[in-house]
């Protein structure tokens, strides 16, 4: 993984938030959870085409975003297509087409930096072609594969038809038509000109919500046909996109009903190999788990049968429960961050000893555990360690006083 370690540390030092890339380099505390997801879903369920949804539950600062991004990175290394979308208050969960558009624009193919539908479709066709033993046979193999799309059983037949048009245009080298197909497949389904291009009718207002849900499911089915291992979609900050609707009486039933239908549609999907993960806070989870329409679907099978108890099929992944000794956890987190920097930039640390950095991390962990006994201590610890390391990288001293004395301009 090509990660800008200094940029990553800079971001953590500023606000303590997880970097966009590189979370797996210093992830601590959830190895067993990631291992369980990998075995149960990425290796077994995806091989059978099964799909499901999970909810990562934790207070602010508990590491939900880090968990989500580390999971996405693991999925990428195993050959999964991924997408991450911040489901904030600005992105209404009930507007499923808009949510789908954000997913489509965030799609990432393993080993690629560019995002979006066009990058995915190019990679899919390339993947089909690489199965041919020679360049001469590639064209024939691709030409035989594209017509099979007609027999696929995608959730949205519209999506299926335009997908075939997209691949035909790409195979023929018609970039303009391919670009138009990508726009339609990315959610521009109200555009009359685009619809006419592919013999479709523009979707009416009443059809948009259903199409958004079906397009998301069809996307996973198509990815599996390429074949990639599967699709992982992470909805970060989902408590913002869900809580406002859940707490408004006039919208509560609609939001809860959509969550129920989403779970049902995902788990019933044939050949989708899709994992959808929401990161939410405990208050939103309590609202969901107390709702009769969702209660039986999201609750653990029984006492002692939760995800962290060893049941990987439990829907809830709680980050606030079963934490190891806080001081030990914070020490391991800080030590991992130190290791990342010294493995990549030891020569730039101006003679600063790694052992000294680790000693300071141990002292920090003790202090942070006392000052902030909640799960938010994880974020505070990361900010302090990153700040110390960036100071050392830039000034040659871990102490902040060195920065003041070395960077203050004389009058």
Check: CB of residue 352 under 8 Å from CB of residue 398.
yes
What mean pLDDT is predicted for residues 388-398?
94
- Looking at the predicted structure, is the pLDDT value of residue 234 above 70? yes
Per-residue pLDDT band at 253 (split at 50, 70, 90)? confident
What mean pLDDT is predicted for residues 310-330?
86
Q: With CA atoms as reference, report the closest residue to 210 among 261, 271, 260.
A: 261
Distance from C-alpha of 398 to C-alpha of 410, rounded to nearest angstrom = 23
Q: How many CB atoms lie within 10 A of CB 190?
A: 15
Per-residue pLDDT band at 305 (split at 50, 70, 90)? very high
Distance from C-alpha of 152 to C-alpha of 339, rounded to nearest angstrom = 48
233, β-bridge pairs: 83, 276
What mean pLDDT is predicted for residues 222-239?
94
Distance from C-alpha of 35 to C-alpha of 40, rounded to nearest angstrom = 8
pLDDT in tens, 169-202: 999 999 999 999 999 999 999 999 999 999 999 9
- What pLDDT, on the 0 to 100 scale, is given for residue 235? 96
Average pLDDT, the chain: 91
- Looking at the predicted structure, is the pLDDT value of residue 390 above 50? yes
- What pLDDT, on the 0 to 100 scale, is given for residue 348? 94
* Helices 377-395 and 5-15, packing angle to 10 deg: 130
Judged by DSSP in three states, 259 sits in helix
- Looking at the predicted structure, is the pLDDT value of residue 397 above 70? yes
pLDDT in tens, 92-129: 888 899 999 999 999 999 989 899 999 999 999 999 88
pLDDT in tens, 274-293: 999 999 999 999 989 999 99
Strand stretches in 173-295, DSSP E: 230-236, 274-280
- pTM value is 0.91
Contacts of 50 (CB under 8 A, 6+ apart): 41, 272, 273
**Higher-scoring residue by pLDDT: 403, 316:** 316
Per-residue pLDDT band at 411 (split at 50, 70, 90)? very low
Ramachandran area for residue 233 (φ above 0: left; ψ -120 to 50: alpha; else beta): beta
Per-residue pLDDT band at 326 (split at 50, 70, 90)? confident
- What pLDDT, on the 0 to 100 scale, is given for residue 371? 87
Q: What percent of the chain has pLDDT over 70?
A: 95
- What pLDDT, on the 0 to 100 scale, is given for residue 151? 96
- Looking at the predicted structure, is the pLDDT value of residue 258 above 80? yes
**Higher-scoring residue by pLDDT: 149, 320:** 149
What mean pLDDT is predicted for residues 219-225?
97
Residue 227: cis peptide before it, omega within 30 degrees of 0? yes
Judged by DSSP in three states, 114 sits in coil
Outline where 96-134 has alpha helix (H): 96-105, 117-129
- Looking at the predicted structure, is the pLDDT value of residue 56 above 80? yes
- What pLDDT, on the 0 to 100 scale, is given for residue 231? 98
- What pLDDT, on the 0 to 100 scale, is given for residue 248? 72
């Amino acid at each position: 993984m090509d990660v800008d370690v200094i940029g990553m540390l800079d971001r953590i030092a500023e606000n303590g938030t997880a970097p966009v890339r590189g979370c797996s380099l210093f992830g601590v505390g959830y190895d067993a959870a990631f291992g369980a997801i990998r075995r149960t879903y990425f290796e077994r369920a995806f091989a059978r085409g099964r799909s499901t949804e999970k909810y990562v539950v934790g207070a602010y600062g508990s590491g939900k975003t880090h968990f989500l991004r580390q999971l996405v990175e693991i999925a990428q290394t195993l050959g999964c297509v991924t997408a991450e979308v911040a489901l904030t208050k600005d992105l209404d969960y009930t507007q499923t087409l808009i949510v789908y558009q954000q997913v489509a624009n965030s799609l990432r193919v393993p080993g690629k930096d560019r995002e979006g539908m066009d990058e995915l479709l190019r990679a899919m066709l390339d993947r089909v072609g690489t199965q041919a033993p020679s360049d001469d046979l590639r064209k024939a193999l691709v030409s035989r594969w594209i017509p099979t799309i007609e027999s696929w059983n995608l959730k949205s037949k519209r999506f299926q038809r335009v997908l075939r048009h997209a691949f035909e245009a790409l195979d023929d080298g018609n970039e303009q038509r391919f670009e138009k197909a990508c726009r339609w497949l990315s959610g521009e389904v109200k555009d009359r000109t685009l619809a006419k291009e592919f013999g479709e009718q523009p979707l009416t207002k009443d059809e948009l919500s259903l199409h958004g849900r079906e397009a998301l499911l069809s996307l996973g089915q198509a990815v599996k046909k390429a074949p990639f291992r599967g699709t992982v979609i992470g909805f970060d900050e989902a408590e913002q996109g869900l809580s406002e609707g859940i707490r408004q009486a006039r919208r509560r039933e609609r939001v809860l009903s959509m969550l129920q239908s989403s779970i049902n549609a995902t788990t019933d999907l044939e050949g989708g190999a899709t994992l959808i993960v929401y990161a939410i806070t405990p208050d939103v989870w309590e609202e969901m788990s107390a709702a009769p329409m969702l209660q039986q679907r999201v609750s653990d099978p029984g006492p002692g049968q939760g995800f962290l108890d060893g049941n990987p099929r439990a829907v809830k992944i709680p980050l606030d429960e079963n934490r190891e000794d806080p001081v030990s956890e914070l020490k391991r987190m800080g030590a991992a961050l130190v290791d990342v920097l010294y493995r990549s930039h030891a020569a730039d640390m101006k003679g600063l000893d790694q052992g000294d950095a680790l000693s300071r991390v141990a002292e920090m962990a003790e202090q942070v555990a006392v000052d902030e006994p909640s799960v938010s201590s994880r974020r505070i610890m990361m900010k302090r360690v990153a700040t110390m390391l960036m100071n050392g990288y830039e000034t040659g001293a871990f102490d902040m006083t060195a920065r003041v004395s070395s960077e203050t301009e004389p009058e």
